[in-house]
Amino acid sequence: MSKEINIGIIGYKFMGKAHSSAFTQLPIYFGEDMKVNKKIICGRNEDKVKRAASQFGWEEYATDYRELIKRDDINVIDVTTPSNYHKQIVMEAIDAGKNVFCEKPLALNVQDAREMHEAAAKKGIKHQIGFNYRFVPAIRLAKQLIDEGRLGKVYHFRARYLQDWATSPDFPLTWRFDKKVCGSGSSGDLGAHVIDLAHFLVGDLKVVTGINETFIKQRPIIEGEGGLSAKAEKGAPLGEVLIDDATIFCGQFECGALASFEMTRYAAGNKNGMGFEINGDKGSVKFFFERMNELMYCDYTQDGLTQGFTRIQTTDYMHSYAKYYYPAGHVIGYADTFTCEMYEFIKAIKENDQAAPGFEAGVKAAQVIDAVDLSIANRAWVNVAEV
């Protein structure tokens, strides 16, 4: 593993910060070989991107992403912009032969996502999509247990992603409510993560049927894009909310297991309440992100006398990535999921492997999201494969 990795990143907000932190931590935790060069950061606002470059430790900055794409020394483009820019930037980066990391969702609909994946595959570049929850050690342990057959035949996958930041009607009409920017609301923003985990852990969905709602149909307009702690001015005019506030759907996997999903921004008291449970005929696992260093596992082949869910703290040396961090019991955090994610991406590039999850995972997530939307529009079941 010797090739220099020179990164150009586009975007400097939530994910731009998380990725910058990850690139910085890579060698400290994963070893000297994992050093990367944080070459250039790009954003539209020169003042802000200049400061971001200094703060996050990038050598240079730019305001036009094409500058990054055309530079010969850059061999990785990292896309953390709003979702509606993903396709355009990614397609150009692929065209220039760059390896591309793209934040989720890959695109605003399955057609665009497919084009992006096909372009990447055709060009032969390395690509990865930002489904960072796949790199949570507890989730990787769930995957390992399933792959080892410790859950047996899977009967159930149930997932929920509960947040509460939109509960108040006073919360303003930020970019997350803007259909042009996001494509969808709860189903794309939150659903994409848990749908990807369903694919990662159980397999393909065959059929879905769901329902959704926009509970608060008008919200105060604000200046700028607004984050999760945005506040509108008193008496601000109201604008229409065009995306879904909450989405629930159920369905069946190709393997026969039943699925249930619920995503909402209106679950008071739940901050980042992503969780799932999988039941098989030999065992079960449960995960809850707010306690991300823990996997609950029931070995159903055990004698009933001592059977039950075991709280496994996934920080011991044999758990994924744990040996690179601290002794058992010294928990990791959300930011570390990006370090692990980028470790896999950079390692794959250095070893000339295609990383996982590649863009195909983004295509599949988009396909399910579109199928759910269609089932709601038609008030009927939809076969995912037909979307």
Strands 238-240 and 154-162: unpaired
Q: Is the dihedral of CA 57, 59, 60, 66 positive or negative?
A: negative
d(CA 251, CA 268): 26
Q: Is the dihedral of CA 343, 345, 348, 352 positive or negative?
A: negative
Let me know: does 13 contact 80? Beta carbons within 8 Å: yes
Q: Where are the alpha helices (DSSP H) in 259-379?
A: 334-350, 359-378
Segment 366 to 385, residues that bind a copy of itself, using CB under 8 A: 379-381
Q: Shortest gap between Cβ of 52 and a copy of itself (angstroms)?
A: 9
Count the site residues for a copy of itself by CB under 8 A: 108
d(CA 90, CA 108): 13
Q: What is the DSSP track for 220-244? A: E--SS---TT--PPTTPPEEE--S-
Mask 259-298, x = binds a copy of itself (CB under 8 A)? xx-x-x-xxxxxxxx---x-xxxxxx----xxxxx---xx
Let me know: does 9 contact 80? Beta carbons within 8 Å: yes
Cis peptide upstream of residue 105 (ω within 30 degrees of 0): yes
d(CA 74, CA 38): 10
Segment 135 to 194, residues that bind a copy of itself, using CB under 8 A: 141, 144-145, 155-156, 158, 160, 162-165, 167-168
Mask 199-238, x = binds a copy of itself (CB under 8 A)? --------x-xxxxx-x-----------xxx---------
3-state secondary structure of 327: coil
Of 70 and 231, which has the nearer Cβ to a copy of itself?
231
Region of 28-36, 77-85, 119-127, 177-185 interacting with a copy of itself (CB under 8 A)? 28-36
d(CA 248, CA 263): 6
Output DSSP code: residue 308: S
Region of 68-76, 113-121, 308-316, 342-350 interacting with a copy of itself (CB under 8 A)? 308-316
Residues present in the chain in total: 387
Cis peptide upstream of residue 220 (ω within 30 degrees of 0): no
Rule CB under 8 A: choose which of 304, 352, 377, 386 binds a copy of itself: 304
Q: Shortest gap between Cβ of 31 and a copy of itself (angstroms)?
A: 6
Rule CB under 8 A: choose which of 54, 64, 66, 95 binds a copy of itself: 54
Rule CB under 8 A: choose which of 12, 56, 200, 343 binds a copy of itself: 56
Segment 61 to 120, residues that bind a copy of itself, using CB under 8 A: none
Segment 317 to 356, residues that bind a copy of itself, using CB under 8 A: 317-319, 325-336
Q: Shortest gap between Cβ of 358 and a copy of itself (angstroms)?
A: 25
Q: Shortest gap between Cβ of 67 and a copy of itself (angstroms)?
A: 23
Q: Shortest gap between Cβ of 339 and a copy of itself (angstroms)?
A: 10
Q: Shortest gap between Cβ of 124 and a copy of itself (angstroms)?
A: 32
Q: Shortest gap between Cβ of 325 and a copy of itself (angstroms)?
A: 7
